Chains A and B, each alone.
Chain A
């Protein structure tokens, strides 16, 4: 099966700085990579996703990059704000039917 590793597990940044979270995956057949944000006490919600035929995708202050050769993908948040503080999960989906999630990154944006 797939193995998704996520780093770092915790991340603190000053407001306005950038934050980067990295994930690696093991199954070269994986073809869909979503990122979820989970605020304290709430459900995970999709913030951005990327498919294997795309190298980069951007949505306002959030971007995701994918390197299929190296089997890693990253979430980039620019101009961070306190409301960006949350736990972020990456995931990989292969040709099977299972989502494999990373272990999460707790991001704290310091005002």
Chain B
């Protein structure tokens, strides 16, 4: 089944403790991206990647890192999480940006930082 898989679904952590949220897609998509969803603010892009070893900042990149060593994986790294990073996170992928391809979303990761 074609899908975007995120793990974990739920994560509670403490301020400053490094964490990684994994994202994997099995559709051979070139484009992958991360969003955070907060009430009243919609979906805001954190980082995106056009292809392997190519990553760019979105609208809210501060406090996050990403890597794209393989086409299928695009992990989101929080080196030193803070309470303002408590949010619902979505990974998404599409065949290729610039060709008007729709995004396919993962099931989300609800992160709480205390």
Digitize A77-111: 1 where CB-to-B-CB distance is under 8 Å, 0 elsewhere. 00000000000010001010111111110000000
The answer to whether B48 and A101 have CB atoms under 8 Å apart is no
Assess whether A102 is in contact with B97, with CB atoms less than 8 Å apart: no
Separation of A9 and B41 alpha carbons in the complex (Å)? 11
Interface size on B (CB < 8 Å)? 25
A48 to B58, CA, bound (A): 24
Question: Which of B59, B98, B108 makes the CB contact (< 8 A) with A97?
Answer: B98
**Chain B: which residue is nearest A33 at the CB level?**
B100
Q: Which of B48, B58, B97, B105 interacts with A43 by CB under 8 Å?
A: B105
**Distance to closest chain B CB from A44 (angstroms):** 5
Whether B40 and A51, one on each chain, are in contact in the complex, defined by CB atoms closer than 8 angstroms, is no
CA of A99 to CA of B58, assembled, Å: 9
Interface assignment of A45: CB less than 8 Å from any CB of chain B: yes
User: How many chain A residues touch the partner (CB < 8 A)?
Assistant: 25
A42 CB–B CB distance under 8 Å = yes
Q: Would A98 and B100 count as touching, CB distance under 8 A?
A: no
**30 CB < 8 A contacts A-B:** A1-B59, A36-B103, A42-B108, A43-B90, A43-B108, A44-B43, A44-B90, A44-B103, A44-B105, A46-B103, A49-B100, A89-B42, A89-B43, A93-B97, A93-B100, A95-B98, A97-B31, A97-B48, A97-B50, A97-B98, A98-B45, A98-B48, A98-B58, A99-B33, A100-B45, A101-B35, A103-B40, A103-B41, A103-B42, A104-B42
